Amino acid sequence: MIEVIIGIVKLILLVAVLSVYVMYATWYERKVIGHMQQRIGPKRVGPYGLLQPLADTIKSFFKEDVIPARADKPLFWLAPILAPTFPFAAAAAIPFFPPIELSNGTMFYFSVFHSNVDLLYILAMMGLSSFGVMLAGIASGGNKYSYFGAQREIAQVVSYEIILALALLNPILMVQSLNLTDFVTFQQQHLWLIFYQPFAFVAFVIAMVASASRVPFDLPEAENELVAGFNTEFTGLKMAMFFFGQYVTIFVVSALAAIVFLGGWSGPAILPGFVWYWLKVLLFIFMFTWFWGTFPRYRYDQLMDIAWKKLLPLLVLNILWTGFALIVHMPII
């Protein structure tokens, strides 16, 4: 009974924390992009514009909910619900703090879901995250922009989820585990995995940006080609739900990169472990904003070429090399 109550409390805290994170991730992005473009960014609502996310949230609740006459209404309602559901499910396996040992010798984990296959579970949920977008395109009443945006999203997620999984396979071979805590333990005893697997790290970063459909890989909602892509027919709270799912995805892949490649909560003793962990997560979240303000959008054919013609064969070779080096006990670096 106690475990059920703890699980429910963890779930409520997860929803609350991620909701606040999404609200202020938008403020943070607008501030950073503003400074990159020599602007101030949000400043009208509250000190330094800190209440702007709250104002935007309230505004989205009062926007008119327009449903196209030709839309498939059940799917049109279901799509915005599914959009953040699977990223939230993936976030349930992400630890927010290092585990602690209780007085009875058991470990307490700061994640809603913990098992020996954390990584596999997260990849499965990430792979399902495109269903909301797919339904958005199908349900939008034949709008060609929505349809093409959904089509691009499906192809992009399928392509780069494969790259994401192959990039993680190299660290998995070294750690011999799918448990996220084991990755941190391995890196506490050795070097961070970014030093053992630099190419896998680069491939993972490219794939995680593409999986989140962010600049320079935001092809499903390319404004100059598709108006707003799969979002074209959605307004108000429904549209906000798609962005909600996207920002949660950014958090999930950022935390995953911090744990798998940068040692998670391991770091010099000058700072507590959880501080190092969150600094690494925030570094990757900043990277998304930096890319947004720096890079132009890739063409769709270029996006597919990067995945299938460049990253895929190189990652397969990297996996073969890692496996061979482990078999013959040869240093990988």
What is the tens place of the pLDDT at every residue in 73-82?
A: 788 888 888 8
| Long-range pairs for 61-70: beta carbons < 8 A, 24 or more residues apart | 61/236, 61/237, 62/236, 63/235, 63/236, 63/237, 64/235, 64/236, 65/235, 65/236, 65/237, 65/238, 66/233, 66/235, 68/140, 68/141, 68/143, 68/233, 69/141, 70/141, 70/142
Average pLDDT of the segment spanning 162-188: 91
Q: What is the average pLDDT value for the chain, to the nearest integer?
A: 85
Q: How far apart are CA 184 and CA 169, in angstroms?
A: 16
Answer whether residue 250 shows pLDDT above 90. yes
**Confidence band (pLDDT; 50, 70, 90) for 331?**
low
Residue 133 above 60 pLDDT? yes
pLDDT interval class at 229 (50, 70, 90): low
**Residue 60 above 60 pLDDT?**
yes
Those residues with Cβ within 8 angstroms of residue 58's Cβ, 6 or more apart along the chain or in another chain = none
As a whole-number percent, the residues of the chain with pLDDT over 90 amount to 28
d(CA 163, CA 166): 5
Say what the pLDDT of residue 333 is.
Answer: 52
CA distance 206 to 314: 14
**What per-residue confidence (pLDDT) applies to 312?**
93
Identify which of 77, 24, 32 has the alpha carbon closest to the alpha carbon of residue 51. 24
Q: Which of 57-61, 203-207, 245-249 has the lowest mean pLDDT?
A: 57-61
Between residues 67 and 264, which one has the greater pLDDT? Answer: 264
Q: Is the pTM of this model over 0.85?
A: yes
pLDDT value for 224: 67
Whole-angstrom distance, CA of residue 3 vs CA of residue 157: 35
**DSSP letter string, 54-70:** HHHHHHHHHS-----TT
* 284 pLDDT tier (thresholds 50, 70, 90): very high
Q: Does the pLDDT at position 262 exceed 70?
A: yes
Q: What is the pLDDT of residue 197?
A: 92
Point out the least confidently predicted range of 70-84, 130-144, 269-283.
130-144
CA distance 272 to 277: 9
